[in-house]
Amino acid sequence: MPPSPPASPTSPLSPIAPYPPPTSPSSPASQPRTRAREVYGFTAYVGTLLLFVLYVVWAVTPDAWLERIGVEWYPNREWAILVPAWTTVVVLLTYLTYLGLALSATPSFTDLTTITDTRAHILKMEGDVNPLLHYSRPDAVPHEFDIPLGTVNRVLYGKRPLSSVAPCQATIH
């Protein structure tokens, strides 16, 4: 058997293969890309920073200094407190609203939808043997099915006689 040729340095079998592997000139990663995202991001960053600096200067500078540099009209200073306070309240109320909506959409513990729903895929079995086993190969992986809650409870807790089951003390309002 002749010896195999040495792997090229760019082969994945080579111990000195670069990672990540070099791209071919026709691949999309090697094409020149636009820098618009970086330009827009930098512009948004600088603009936001400039607006924040102007806001802080307006909020803390005395009126006499603003009038001395020629600024004659500007909003009342109470807005420097009201806008951040109202923004904070709106954000907190948004979180509380989403929490309330999630809690109102949650079914109660006595509702059957906490156990199963209309999309449950439960295998109908006749007797103790799965009817599909007759048609499948021995090494085949069975289809996915939802396991009924009663079966899960029997496996986890075993069969208990009815006399050992404590009566339910819960009251429904």
Q: Is residue 48 part of a domain?
A: yes
Question: Mind listing the pLDDT tens digit for each residue in 55-93?
Answer: 998 899 998 998 898 888 888 889 999 999 999 999 999
In a domain, 65, yes or no: yes
Q: What is the pTM of this model?
A: 0.46
**In the prediction, which pLDDT does 29 show?**
60
> What's the CA angle centered on 63, arms 62 and 68, to 5 degrees?
105
Residue 170 covered by a domain: no
Indicate whether 67 belongs to any domain: yes
Amino acid 114: pLDDT: 84
What does each of the 173 residues of the chain score in pLDDT, given as a tens digit? 555 655 565 566 666 666 666 666 666 665 677 888 999 999 999 999 999 999 998 899 998 998 898 888 888 889 999 999 999 999 999 999 999 999 999 998 888 888 888 888 877 766 666 666 667 777 777 678 888 888 888 888 887 766 665 666 655 55
Tokens of 114: 């906490």
Task: State the pLDDT at residue 82.
Answer: 95
User: Does the residue 62 lie in any domain?
Assistant: yes
Residue 66 neighbours by CB distance under 10 Å:
15
Residue 63 lies in a domain: yes
- Residue pair 94/119 in contact (Cβ under 8 Å)? The answer is no
**141 domain-assigned:** no
Predicted local distance difference test score (pLDDT) of residue 169: 61
Residue 20 located in a structural domain: no
Structural domain containing residue 43: 32-74
Which two structure tokens, joined as six digits, stand for 168?
């339910």
Task: Give the DSSP letter of residue 6.
Answer: P
Residues 146/116, Cβ–Cβ less than 8 Å: yes
Both tokens of residue 109? 């513990």
Structural domain count, the chain? 1
Tokens 């103790």 sit on residue: 128
